């Protein structure tokens, strides 16, 4: 099965600047108390006070900031702090209203059908690893779910009225996740694509909830080792093999046994007529994988431009993490040859992807993760300012 994941980003550096200002309603110009302002996928963030004011110390390499408030349109904006100068901004948020100028909140009936869709959503958004299964969505009533079913294809879509509050005591974080878009697509019996877009903000709860610190550190390290963040940090430091990563080229070629468009239309028409979905489950893989026999040096898939580092490659990278076995739940979908190691595939689309020392990368829309790294979801996420 194929899994795909988008990971969203923040950056870190030793050089800091003061980013401060005030958040107001765009129409009334009144200040907004309690608005969130944060660097996505980090623990760096704050809330506006009773005067609408906020203050944050940010690394000069920070690329993006998110401002959100319930009932208002979330702002994600690029920032450039590279000159090291402090910043003072007035930020305006617009209230979400319909054509009748009414504030809009969608309320869905949480019946058996909603619960069925929610379980699918939770599995493919939170994840199904040992660590992710401990995560809990504290406000499921804010999740809005819809689905589409056609012969040979299933699509689940989700968004939310408010940021989802995801608590995982095993990693010691609450993630406030501003969900913008979620699509889960199943094609046939062996192709699964999950795409989600959003802005997570992490809060460490290990001290205030008096959690077992040694257990927290152990589970965070377990989530980190072999992750996409670990891989990119090792790549940045040019220590892939020392950290346990082997990289080979993977080429996907069309499977000659896969039916052509005309044959496929006939099969789907028969499925629709007979309701016999076994015809779809019997379809062979659409593509065949051809794996390179030698390890790729990083010079074959990276570019260095002065102090900046980029990934740029054709085909796929097949990444094997050799220092840990995959989660038992993943093995249900894996082949025997992948049973001992965590095997993932990376795909670079369009432009080169800049990557950073903290495991972050930009632009995330140009780098896709499949296999084990793609199977890991929000429940396994760590902030980019995590250090093992």
pLDDT in tens, the chain (388 residues): 444 444 444 333 347 899 999 999 999 999 999 999 999 989 999 999 999 999 999 988 888 899 999 888 898 888 888 888 899 999 999 988 654 444 445 666 788 999 999 999 999 999 999 999 999 999 999 999 999 988 778 899 998 888 999 999 999 999 999 998 899 998 866 667 888 888 999 999 999 999 999 999 999 999 999 999 999 999 999 999 999 999 999 998 888 888 888 887 887 788 778 777 677 767 777 778 888 999 999 999 999 998 899 999 999 999 999 999 999 888 876 655 567 899 999 999 989 999 999 998 888 889 999 999 999 999 999 999 999 8
- In sequence order, the 6+-apart residues with CB closer than 8 A to the CB of 41 are 7, 8, 9, 10, 199, 200, 201, 202, 360, 381, 383, 384
Q: Which two tokens stand for residue 360?
A: 């972050």
The residue behind tokens 């829309």 is: 365
C-alpha distance from residue 8 to each of 53, 150, 234, 273 (Å): 26, 31, 19, 43
Pairing mode, strands 143-150 and 45-47? unpaired
**For residue 105, what pLDDT is reported?**
53
Q: CA of 127: how far to CAs of 7, 13, 119, 133, 259, in Å?
A: 14, 30, 11, 7, 32
Residue showing tokens 């010079």: 299
* Dihedrals phi, psi of 2, to nearest 5 degrees: -105, 135
Q: What is the pLDDT of residues 8-63, one digit of tens each?
A: 443 333 478 999 999 999 999 999 999 999 999 899 999 999 999 999 999 888 88
Q: What pLDDT shows up at residue 115?
A: 93
Confidence (pLDDT) at 32: 95
Beta bridge partners of 197: 181
What is residue 110's predicted lDDT score, i.e. its pLDDT?
81
Q: Please give the Cα distance from 128 to 354 (Å, whole number).
A: 30
* Cα separations in angstroms, 205 against 56, 109, 224: 20, 32, 18
What is the predicted pLDDT for the residue at 168?
A: 96
C-alpha span between 52 and 49 (Å, rounded): 5
Distances (CA, A) of 345 to 15, 104, 363: 34, 41, 18
Output the pLDDT for position 333. 63
Tokens of 212: 């077992």
Which domains does the chain show, CATH number per domain? 16-93 (2.60.40.1120), 112-222 (no CATH), 224-380 (no CATH)
Quick one: pLDDT at residue 13?
A: 38
**Which tokens in the block code for residue 159?**
């968004």
Strand 287-291 with 367-370, pairing: unpaired
């Amino acid at each position: 099965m194929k899994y795909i994941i988008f990971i969203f980003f923040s950056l870190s550096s030793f050089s800091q600047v003061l980013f401060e200002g005030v958040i107001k309603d765009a129409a009334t110009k009144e200040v907004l108390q309690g608005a969130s302002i944060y660097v996505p996928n980090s623990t760096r963030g704050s809330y506006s006070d009773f005067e609408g004011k906020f203050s944050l110390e940010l690394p000069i390499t920070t690329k993006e900031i998110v401002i959100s408030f319930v009932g208002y349109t979330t702002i994600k904006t690029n920032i450039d702090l590279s000159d090291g100068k402090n910043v003072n901004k007035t930020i305006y948020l617009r209230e979400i209203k319909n054509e009748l100028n009414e504030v809009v909140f969608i309320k869905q009936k949480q019946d058996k059908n909603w619960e069925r869709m929610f379980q699918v959503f939770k599995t493919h958004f939170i994840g199904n690893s040992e660590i992710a299964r401990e995560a809990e969505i504290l406000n499921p009533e804010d999740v809005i779910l819809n689905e589409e079913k056609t012969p040979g294809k299933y699509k689940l879509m989700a968004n939310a009225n408010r940021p989802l509050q995801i608590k995982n005591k095993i990693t010691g974080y609450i993630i406030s996740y501003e969900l913008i878009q979620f699509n889960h697509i199943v094609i046939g019996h062996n192709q699964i694509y999950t795409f989600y877009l959003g802005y997570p903000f992490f809060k460490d709860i290990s001290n205030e909830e008096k959690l077992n610190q040694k257990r927290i550190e152990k589970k965070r390290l377990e989530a980190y080792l072999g992750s996409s963040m670990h891989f990119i940090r090792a790549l940045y430091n040019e220590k892939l093999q020392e950290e346990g990563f082997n990289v080979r080229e993977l080429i996907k070629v069309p499977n000659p046994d896969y039916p052509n468009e005309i044959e496929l239309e006939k099969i789907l028409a028969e499925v629709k007529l007979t309701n016999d979905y076994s015809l779809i489950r019997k379809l062979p893989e659409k593509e065949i994988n051809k794996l390179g026999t030698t390890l790729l040096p990083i010079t074959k898939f990276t570019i260095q431009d002065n102090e900046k580092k980029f990934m740029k490659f054709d085909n796929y990278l097949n990444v094997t993490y050799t220092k840990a076995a995959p989660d038992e739940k993943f093995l249900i979908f894996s082949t025997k040859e992948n049973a001992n190691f965590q095997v993932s595939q990376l795909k670079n689309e369009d432009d080169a992807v800049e990557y950073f020392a903290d495991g972050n990368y930009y632009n995330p829309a140009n780098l896709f993760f499949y296999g084990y790294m793609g199977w890991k979801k929000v429940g396994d996420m760590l902030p980019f300012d995590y250090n093992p």
